[in-house]
Amino acid sequence: MQQINESILNDEIREHLKENRISHMEYLPGMERISSDLLEQVTSRMDAYDPARYTAGDVRRALAQENRTPEDFAALLSPAAAPFLEEMARKAKEETRKHFGNTVYLFTPLYIANYCENYCIYCGFNCHNKIRRARLNEEEIEKEMRKIAETGLQEILILTGESPSKSDLTYIGEACRIARRYFKVIGLEVYPMNTEDYRYLHGCGADYVTVFQETYHAGKYETLHLAGPKRIFPYRFYAQERALLGGMRGVGFAALLGLADFRKDAFATGIHAWLLQRKFPQAEISFSCPRLRPIINNEKINPQDVHESQLLQVITAYRLFLPYAGITVSTRECARFRDHVMGLAATKISAGVSTGVGSHCEEVEDKGDSQFEISDGRTVAEVWESLTRRGLQPVMSDYLYV
C-alpha cells in the first residue's frame, strides 16, 4: 500500500498544526447533528472486515447469488476474488445491461472556484499549497456554462473547492440558478452542509450531491486532514443523509482509493450506500471510483499502489452488490480503461474535462490552477464517438421536468 509521506509539511506549519489541532470527531459550532447511527454501523462492519479471511469458495458462492449480501460483497472485494476477475466482469456486464441497457450518461465537471479552507495533504487545492486561486463571477460562470452547453451536454457537476467564506451558500445557489438555464441535471461537489442549506440549493435547481469521504478509517483520516472543517469526520460522513433530508434526488459516494487500505475503504463505501438506500429507497445512489493522482507542488504524491486490475475488481464488486447504482469513472483514469469499464459496469462518464477554474472559455481571464492531473482529455464529441463505436448509447439526460 502507498504511504502518504507527511514530511512535505515544513516545520513551522507542523508545529502550528500540532498546537492547534482540533479533534476530528467533535462537531464544530454550527454543524448540524442528525439522529442516525449509520456511522457506527458502517465502521463496525468495516472494522470486522478482514479481506484475507475469504476463500475461493466464498467468492464462487457470492458470484452464484442473484441478490448479494454484504458478506458476498466482502468476498468479491477480497484478494481471493482476484482470479475471478473475468467472471466478475462478465456478471457485472449482465447486471449493467439488465438495469441500464446499453446507455451511458455524459456530463462534465465545472470548477467555479478553487479556494479551500482545508488542509488535505494529498490535494493540490489545499489551503497551504501556493497555487493560482480564482472564483468566477456570475457573468463568467454563465460564459463557461454556455460554452459547455454548446457541446450538447445536458448535465453539469459544479465544484468549488471547500471554502464556505469564498464560495458561500448564495454564491453556489446562484451558480445552480444559472446552470438551470443551460442544463437539465445539476450535481454539486462542494463542502458538506446542513440540511437546510441542501434544501436551499435544491430549491435553486441542484439535483444531486456527491461527497467523497476519502477514507472511512477515522485514524487515517485524522492524519490526512490536518486543518479546516473537513477534519470533522462524522460531519462529513453524514453529508449524504442530510442532503437527502434536504430534498436532493440523489447522492454520490466515494473513497479516494490509495489513501488507506483500498479494500476496506471500498467495502465501507458500499455499505454506507447500501444502508442509506434502505433508509431512503427513493434516493438515486451512485459511486465514483477515484484513485489518488499527482498534484501541483508535491511530487511525492505519485500513487501507483491500487493497480488497474484492483480498481476493476472494486468497480465490478460495486455493480454486483448494488446493481441499480450509478457508477462514474473519473478522468484520473486513461481513455482506454474508461472505455473498457463503460462496457462492463460503469454508467456515467465525464467528457471535455478540465479541473482548472475558468478553463472552458477563452474570454474568462481569472484562471485558477487545476486540482489534479487528468489522464483522459477527450472532447465530448470524441467520447461520444468512442462510445457509439463500442455499441453503447450515449445519453445526455433522461430526466423530464413536468
- Where do contacts with ligand SF4 occur on this chain (CB under 6 A)? 116, 118, 120, 123, 125-126, 161-162, 230
Beta strands in 202-249 (DSSP E): 208-214
263: buried, middle or exposed (CB in 10 Å: 19+, 13-18, 0-12)?
A: buried
Q: Residue 286: CA atoms inside 13 Å, Cβ hemisphere, count?
A: 23
Q: Which is nearer to ligand SF4, 222 or 382 (CB)?
A: 222
User: What are the φ/ψ torsions at residue 273 (nearest 5 degrees)?
Assistant: -65, -40
Q: Which is nearer to ligand SF4, 230 or 264 (CB)?
A: 230
- Closer residue to ligand SF4 in complex, CB, 125/235: 125
CB of 77 to ligand SF4, least distance (A): 24
CB 277 to ligand SF4: min, Å:
25
Contacts of residue 387, Cβ cutoff 8 Å, sequence gap at least 6:
104, 339, 342, 349, 393, 394
Nearer Cβ to ligand SF4, position 51 or 228? 228
Kindly give, in sequence order, each residue whose CB lies less than 8 Å from that of residue 363, ignoring residues fewer than 6 positions away: 143
Nearest approach, Cβ of residue 284 and ligand SF4 (Å): 23
| Integer angstrom CA distances of residue 246 from 27, 29, 38, 193 | 20, 20, 17, 10
Smaller CB separation from ligand SF4, 58 or 162 = 162
Residue type present at position 132: R
Least distance in angstroms from the C-beta of 131 to ligand SF4: 11
Which of residues 159 and 341 has its CB atom nearest to ligand SF4 in the complex? 159
Residue 84 or 238 with smaller CB distance to ligand SF4? 238
3-state DSSP assignment of residue 28: coil
Query: Beta-carbon neighbour count of residue 39 at 10 Å?
Result: 17
Whole-angstrom distance, CA of residue 263 vs CA of residue 216 = 11
Q: Based on CB atoms, which residue is closest to ligand SF4, 162 or 339? A: 162
Q: How far is the CB of 111 from ligand SF4 (least distance, A)?
A: 10
Minimum CB separation of residue 51 from ligand SF4 in Å reads: 26
Query: Closest distance between ligand SF4 and the C-beta of residue 120, in Å?
Result: 3
All three cell numbers of 14, joined, read 507542523
- Longest CA span, the chain: 60
- Distance between CA atoms of 308 and 290, rounded to whole angstroms? 11
DSSP conformational letter for 192:
-
- Answer yes or no: are the C-beta atoms of 312 and 342 closer than 8 Å: no
Give the nearest distance from C-beta 302 to ligand SF4 in angstroms. Answer: 17
